[in-house]
Amino acid sequence: MMIALFLCSSVFSQEWKVPENKKKKTAPFKFNADIVKKGETLFNSNCLSCHGNPGKKNYANLNPSPGDPASDDYQDQTDGEMYYKITNGRSPMPSFKTILAETERWTIISYIRSFNKKYIQPDTAAVAGETEYTINLLAEKLSDSNKVKVTATAYSAKDTVVVKNADVTLYAKRNFGLLPIGEKKSTDKNGIVIFYFPEDLPGDTAGYVTLVVKLSDETGDIGEGEMTKKLQVGTPTHPVSLLDTRAMWSVRSQAPYWVIITYCSAVLLVLGVIGYILKQLSIIYKTGKDSKNLND
């Protein structure tokens, strides 16, 4: 549904300027029938509600018009332009770099391109001026403070560079997902960004927390990177087993007191009723026996 918002906001208009070096960006893999099929699935689950079926012009009646992804307006762009706009967004369209994986963004583009019979996928290796970088992220706790410093560098076969003005997001890994630590920040001229973490952030028994660092440099030449590292930035926590507490789901010895009292009361009540019934039956039996003896 969110991709539909992207396609519904006229993102492919000429007013949206894409940096020249980004127009040359190409997919890291070749488009084939399997990739296109996966792209179709992603498109149908995210885009179909607004755009309808590509080539059918059965898109939703919205303003601005969502248009048809198979139309010339879409197909006249380079792959890099499509990827840049999906990734970075532009108000009111959000950025999708944290919603869809890089491969998923390219996969949707492969499906859109399948409606262009004239399309020939560029050879990544043949793009002039492009350098493939590998991102290196270093996260460390600053001594005697509640700060984590992240340093970003990138290296290629030719050189090593500092990653400037790149978006960095820090997360703490929790049982049910990733917890953002602060707001997204940008690296400085030295490729460094500082995050403040909560002093009451729960960690393991020694205070270690698994941190996930995500970097995106879509306005430059680096791309995206991610790293995971355990740092002693949390409060030592000794987890208590759910079976060690008095709760409905716990073992019998840890059952809530009210459950024990209710159960015992119910058992005593049932036993009392049974005893009362047996007593009444005994009385009836004796009464009948006495009556028989009198008649005799």
Give pLDDT tens digits for 30-49: 999 999 999 999 888 877 77
**Domain assignment present for 270:** yes
Q: Give pLDDT, residue 130.
A: 57
Shared domain for 291 and 257, answered yes or no, is yes
In the chain, beta strands by DSSP E = 134-141, 147-155, 160-162, 167-174, 177-180, 185-186, 192-196, 209-217, 223-231
Give the range of the structural domain holding residue 285, as residue numbers without chain letter: 252-295
Q: How far is 170 from 231, CA to CA, in rounded Å?
A: 13
Point out which residues pair with 93 in neighbouring strands: 90
Phi-psi label, residue 207: left if phi above 0, alpha if psi -120 to 50, beta otherwise: left
For the chain, the domain total comes to 3
In 90-217, beta strands by DSSP E = 134-141, 147-155, 160-162, 167-174, 177-180, 185-186, 192-196, 209-217
**Domain assignment present for 237:** no
CATH number at residue 162: 2.60.40.730
- Average pLDDT over every residue of 140-146: 88
- Could you give the angle at the alpha carbon of 150 between the alpha carbons of 147 and 152, nearest 5°? 165
Assign 296 to helix, strand or coil.
Answer: coil
Shared domain for 30 and 111, answered yes or no, is yes
Is a pLDDT exceeding 80 seen at residue 290? no
Shared domain for 30 and 85, answered yes or no, is yes
Assign 153 to helix, strand or coil.
Answer: strand
Shared domain for 10 and 121, answered yes or no, is yes
**Domain assignment present for 236:** no
Q: Who has greater pLDDT, 51 or 136?
A: 136
**Domain assignment present for 239:** no
Label residue 213 by pLDDT band (50, 70, 90): very high
**Domain assignment present for 170:** yes
- Average pLDDT over every residue of 232-236: 92
Q: Who has greater pLDDT, 137 or 251?
A: 137
Share of the chain above pLDDT 70, in %: 83
Mean pLDDT across the chain? 83
Shared domain for 116 and 14, answered yes or no, is yes
Shared domain for 219 and 270, answered yes or no, is no
**Domain assignment present for 243:** no
**Domain assignment present for 197:** yes
Is a pLDDT exceeding 50 seen at residue 253? yes
Choose one of 126, 157, 189: the last residue of a domain. Answer: 126
Counting DSSP H helices and E strands in the chain, the numbers are 8, 9
Shared domain for 13 and 97, answered yes or no, is yes
Q: Give pLDDT, residue 9.
A: 45
Q: Give pLDDT, residue 12.
A: 45
- Average pLDDT over every residue of 239-248: 69
Shared domain for 112 and 139, answered yes or no, is no
Q: Give pLDDT, residue 15.
A: 66
Shared domain for 23 and 115, answered yes or no, is yes
Shared domain for 71 and 148, answered yes or no, is no
- Could you give the angle at the alpha carbon of 221 between the alpha carbons of 217 and 224, nearest 5°? 40
Choose one of 184, 200, 231: the last residue of a domain. Answer: 231
Share of the chain above pLDDT 90, in %: 36
Shared domain for 138 and 118, answered yes or no, is no
Assign 40 to helix, strand or coil.
Answer: helix
**Domain assignment present for 258:** yes
Q: Give pLDDT, residue 89.
A: 74
Label residue 125 by pLDDT band (50, 70, 90): low
